[in-house]
Amino acid sequence: MKLSIIIPVFNEENTIASIIQKVQSADYDKEIIVVDDASTDGTKDILQKLSQQPKLKIFYHERNRGKGAAIRTAIKNITGNITIIQDADLEYDPVDYTILLKPILDGRADVVYGSRFQGGSHRVLFFWHYLGNKLLTLFSNVMTNLNLTDMETGYKAFKSNVIKNISLSSDRFGFEPEVTAKIAHNNNYKIYEVPISYSGRDYSEGKKIGWKDGVAAIYFILKYNIQAKLKIGS
């Protein structure tokens, strides 16, 4: 088994070296695919210094296109059997890879979501972010007929042939509702959810997502679920 670990990054000079080191330390055969989405801080300089590390592939966008676009760039270059999406901040800990991978390695799952709301340890932070995540997950579940607890999680693992065969188009944070809709409406995929730890950060520490992204997520949930249903019906 070989892992392909995708790290989309934008302006994470304070964390990018640390997260790459943590991923490198994970005891798996792996490749790490970092896509710098036209960072304007020192992220690119740090990545260039790290570029000679083993099993590390780095790609650079010339302009900022968003998380979804960075993930699409990475998917084109994966060679592993299983793909994990790993955010570039330190909110998600690679120590949880064992938990995330187990349903796939056991032959039970094609896709695994790491849930921040199933009992894993987590930093206590924003109530309104928590409520927003729960409401977006509820709305997504209504449209997909899934019973996820955390649709917006940044930790998702896929059999690589699954993520390669999904036609993705969302450029920014629409990746989460899009990939969820397209997996849910394909009855061939078995989906599992497992508890993970979560060390959330506040805006002074570099958190980027805000209420506008929540409003956009509602649009993306509607858009991609309607598209998927129309495709099935055609």
Q: pLDDT tens, position by position, for the chain (234 residues)? A: 899 999 999 999 999 999 999 999 999 999 999 999 999 999 999 999 999 999 999 999 999 999 999 999 999 999 999 999 999 989 999 999 999 999 999 999 999 999 998 876 665 566 777 788 899 999 999 999 999 999 999 999 999 999 999 999 998 879 999 999 999 998 889 999 999 998 764 544 555 566 677 788 899 999 999 988 877 765
Instruction: Report residue 139 as tokens.
Output: 């709305």
pTM over 0.85: yes
CA distance 20 to 9: 11
Instruction: Report residue 175 as tokens.
Output: 């990746």
Sequence-separated (6 or more) residues with CB below 8 Å from residue 149: 115, 117, 118, 137, 193
CATH fold, domain 3-233, is: Spore Coat Polysaccharide Biosynthesis Protein SpsA; Chain A (3.90.550)
